[in-house]
Chains A and B, each alone.
Chain A
Amino acid sequence: MKELICIVCPRGCHLTIDDNNNVTGNMCPRGKQYALNEITNPTRMVTSTVKVDSKLFKRLPVITSKEVSKSKMFEVVKALDGIVVKPPVYLHDVIIKDVCGLGVDIIATRTILE
């Protein structure tokens, strides 16, 4: 048996998962999926910033399009070094396709027009 805290939403349910993969304590189905992932291949969304060549802003905030394996987080952030984006850039524009060959894109989370 293992005790976990669900991080999928801010409610932060206290979960327990037993040896037969039965999950309790989750207030919604996402908690169950989280517990199952967490004991096999824990994944996380990664957020960071990249340089933007804009009049008003220095950094463009970005996020992974999907969760990546927890052990790949550092690699993903490293891949952002040296990237410079030219405006206009729109919300959810792809900044890096298939980052580190993980099948996940890096996308913009802010619109910067100039």
Chain B
Amino acid sequence: MKTYDLVIIGGGSAGLAAALEAKKEGVDNLIILEKEPYLGGILQQCIHNGFGLVQFKEQLSGPEYAQRYIDLVNENHIPYLLETMVYEITKDKEIYYTNKQDGVCCIKARAIIMATGCIERTAGAIQLEGARVSGIMTAGLAQKYMNIEGYMVGKKVFILGSGDIGLIMARRCMLEGAKVLGVAEIMPYSNGLNRNIVQCLNDFDIPLYLSHTVKKVVGKDRVEKIIIAKVDDKMNYIPGSEKEFDCDTLILSVGLIPYNPLLEKLNIALNPKTKGVNVNQDYESEFEGIFSCGNSLHVHDLVDYVSKEATLAAKGAVKYLKNNKQEEKVYKTVAGRGINYVLPQQFSYQKDSKIDFKFRVSKPFKACSIVIKNNDSVVRIIKKLYLLPAEMEIISLDMNAITNPSDLVFEIKEDF
């Protein structure tokens, strides 16, 4: 059986950036396994621009951003296998995959980086009521149909959920000649980036119905009509608030979930909030030598941060491979009031180091402070004009600012 120092599962932006960093740090015996016939992952269908401002200080489209990394992977002669589906990982880090050339194959890894991306929540996941007809699809699938396969998804479209991919698809459908009748969002605020509300909805006069959801889908074979209704703060329909739309397509943009079926067999617990594994600052999971980054760890809105995170996971893997790990006391991060989750979930204290802590708020805040506490003494306070669940926050914390290491609590205080 062939043994690799490092096997990277998934050749999307996370996998590519991880491979490049590991190679740079001197790991030559590595490979990327990718199930699609091309590298780049989900970015290849995100043809709009707005990527790369953090990493490259330029506005790139998804495929352009991906191409930069693919070119570097090729220049650095990093091996990869395409159309190669990993279907099992064992406790001994044996990796089983299938592809056309090798059939079923098994390789062994000393370290593994999981970079398998995320999947979309579907109609089943949100218990959509009414007819099970054609014309209902997730936004990512609609994006793939239009941008990769090249066909229109419908003529009269309604969108449920204000996630970014749904907003991007609203504009895409309009520009390609379809009519987008509206976007309904069950929460009282949008889940997408503000810029996408402006350039995808406002630019095309597409109405956004906040605190609204689809109550019923009507149709025989294909969607013919949908009924939306307003909900109160307990998510119950408000009688008499129904509106009807004649449409042939319902696009769902109701959330993404990290894709981790390969880890289930290893009995690694998934975090109930992120739906990814718990990691330390080296992005190592509870399972020694298995690292995770990108959308399979937690859902990102910006690919730039995916690439950065993957670099850290690769550095962690290199450290592990060089056996540079010392036994250190481990502390926890705690998501306090107003915070949905904090990553990494564990960290060890090292003097003169910095750790990037990432978190999302659980609802929108205006004029507030992010408070980071430790054993009841305040480590840091950061004032913010606004914080949105749609935007991941990153705080780089200098460990020297902590005199007495202990668990770190993150919370939001309103009004200053």
Residues of A within 8 A of B (CB): 4-10, 12, 14, 44-49, 51, 56-59, 61-63, 70, 73-74, 77, 91, 109-111
A12 engages B195 (CB within 8 Å): yes
Question: Residues of B contacting A14 with CB < 8 Å?
Answer: 194, 385-386
Give A77 to B49 CA distance when docked, in angstroms.
15
Q: Which of A4, A51, A59, A91 is the one whose CB lies under 8 Å from B148?
A: A59
Q: Which residues of B contact A47 (CB under 8 A)?
A: 47-49, 61
Task: Give A73 Cβ to nearest chain B Cβ, in Å.
Answer: 6
- Known contacts A47-B61, A48-B175: A9-B53 contact under CB 8 Å: yes
Decide if B61 touches A61 in the complex (CB within 8 Å): yes
Point out the residue from B63, B150, B301 that lies within 8 Å of A10, measured CB to CB: B301
Q: Complex: how many Å from CA A7 to CA B171? A: 15
Residues of B within 8 A of A111 (CB): 67
What distance in Å separates the Cβ of A1 from its nearest Cβ neighbour in chain B? 18
A10→B175 CA distance, assembly (Å): 22
Cα-based distance from A49 to B203 in the complex (angstroms):
20
B198 near A77 with CB under 8 A, answer no
User: A59 contacts which of B149, B195, B301 (Cβ < 8 Å)?
Assistant: B149
Give the residues in chain A near B385, CB-CB below 8 Å. 14
B270 interface hit (Cβ, 8 Å): no
A89 CA / B146 CA spacing, docked (Å): 20
Please, how many angstroms separate the alpha-carbon atoms of A7 and B148 in the complex?
A: 26
| Docked complex Cα distance between A8 and B100 (Å) | 44
Nearest Cβ on chain B to A11's Cβ, whole angstroms: 8
5 tightest Cβ-Cβ pairs between the two chains A and B: A12-B194, A61-B47, A7-B195, A110-B63, A59-B150
- CB contacts (< 8 Å) of B62 on chain A: these are 61
- Chain B contacts for A77, CB-based, 8 A: 175-176
Contacts of A48 in B (CB 8 A): 47, 175-176
Q: How far is the CB of A109 from chain B (nearest CB, A)?
A: 5
Residues of A within 8 A of B50 (CB): 9-10
- Contact (Cβ within 8 A) B175 A73: yes
Is B53 a contact of A59 with CB atoms below 8 Å? Answer: no
Given the contacts A44-B199, A47-B48, A61-B47, A5 and B149 also touching, CB distance less than 8 Å: no
Known: A56-B37, A61-B47, A77-B175. A5 touches B150 (CB 8 A): no
